[in-house]
Amino acid sequence: MAPPHLNSRRDYAGPLFLKQGFRPFFLGAGVWSALAMAVWVSLLLYGDQLSLLGYFSAQDWHIHEMLFGFLPAAIAGFLLTTIPNWTGRLPVRGIPLALLAGVWLAGRLAILVSGFVPVHYYPLVGIIDSLFLVSFALLIGREIIIGKNIKNLPVVGVVCALALSNIAFHLSALEIIDVFSTRQIALLAIFLAVMLVTLIGGRIVPSFTRNWMSRNKLAPLPAPRDMIDRTGALFVPLAAFLLMALPQSRLTGIFCLLTAILHLYRLARWRGFATTSEPLVVILHIGYGWIGIGFFLAGLSVLTAAIPFIAALHAFTAGMIGTMILAVMTRASRGHAGQPLEADRGTTIIYVLITLSAVIRVISAIWGNPAWGYSLSGLLWIAAFSLFAILYYPLFVKR
């Protein structure tokens, strides 16, 4: 006889769209990422003529909706689907999942229409938007603690820090606090994302690579987790701290270069070059590789004036965040919807589009911020996430 919790999983009779967290949140992340980038490209082209963004400047709106709108949706889709595997507990689904997704959507709509809201209601907009990350952090914390999955508490810590960063971002934009600027808070959020990819990507990239290589009888397999991996995970928060606390110090520049070398070496040990025949696997290595590129550019930006720091930030955001999110969303969606773990032509095109977007964004920053490069990169980003939403929509609602 099957265990009761497995029978309960099979007995779920609600809408398929609300059966697992990846379905509403991956679709939401894909659609909102494309829409928010379309607004940003319009603002780049037409300026304040289209700017009705309440207490956010155009750039702050773009930063916020990428880091605290799109990114958390993708994180939620992944963790809500993965945590039940970590804990053995039932997934969040049905009405609770619908309410959580509704809170996320309410935040997006509240900020989108904030330009039409009376000024004295601005704090309410911030409260509505902040509810999602706070609720999500409490939810996954509860699941991991009750499931006695203590080793994954650092993941909860990163999400909690992201929730607090979002609150601080609103308070700074509203000029309620002036200790940190919105740019400083955004930088912290970016590094939180880097830490999350270091933690989770450091597990799934070698694991999925090992599984694929084993099925295809390839050797040698990725190196097992050892001191290199633990050191790499430690170097990221230290490098992030130095970049925020001592941005002009040569020590910071040198440490960032060491962090880049360590993570690129870590990546090389995972045998990504052996997986080039399967885009669904190799894209994970490309996504993780942007961590090394980001810290390399950050180190150079401190040590030389030839490289602007914004190039490093775009390596982390357009590169690491954009690529890794699409890599994980496509793989997880296919796997949980019962599809072959192989990239079809459309999925491969998605990977090409996001890679071109990231490369052009970083090169544009190095060349001095040309508007054409940013616009082209944004259009490629829109194409990548729009294509993801179109191609993967049937997997979210029909399978």
Q: Domain limits of the chain?
A: 16-180, 200-399
Contact criterion met (CB below 8 Å) for 312 and 347: no
Q: In whole angstroms, what is the distance from residue 74 CA to residue 79 CA? A: 9
Judge if pTM exceeds 0.75.
Answer: yes
Output the pLDDT for position 3.
Answer: 46
**What's the chain's average pLDDT?**
93
Output the pLDDT for position 255.
Answer: 98
* 6 pLDDT higher than 80: no
Q: In whole angstroms, what is the distance from residue 91 CA to residue 82 CA? A: 9
* 2 pLDDT higher than 50: no
Query: Residue 113, SS3?
Result: coil
Output the pLDDT for position 10.
Answer: 56
C-alpha 7, offset from chain centre: 33
Q: Mean pLDDT lowest for which of 49-53, 175-179, 315-319? A: 49-53
Output the pLDDT for position 11.
Answer: 72
Q: In whole angstroms, what is the distance from residue 217 CA to residue 56 CA? A: 54
Mean per-residue pLDDT, 211-227: 94
Mean per-residue pLDDT, 297-309: 96
Task: Note the helical H segments in 269-321.
Answer: 279-303, 309-314
Query: How large a percentage of the chain has pLDDT more than 90?
Result: 86
Mean per-residue pLDDT, 134-147: 96
Please give the full DSSP string across 14-44, using - where no structure is assigned: S-GGGSSTHHHHHHHHHHHHHHHHHHHHHHH
The half-sphere exposure of 166 on its side-chain side, counting CA atoms within 13 A, is 31
Per-residue model confidence as pLDDT tens digits over 8-36: 455 777 899 999 999 999 999 999 999 99
Output the pLDDT for position 44.
Answer: 82
Output the pLDDT for position 370.
Answer: 75
Between the alpha carbon of residue 174 and those of residues 196, 214, 290, the distances in Å are 28, 54, 33
Mean per-residue pLDDT, 78-93: 94
Ramachandran area for residue 107 (φ above 0: left; ψ -120 to 50: alpha; else beta): alpha
Confidence of residue 48 (pLDDT cuts 50, 70, 90): low
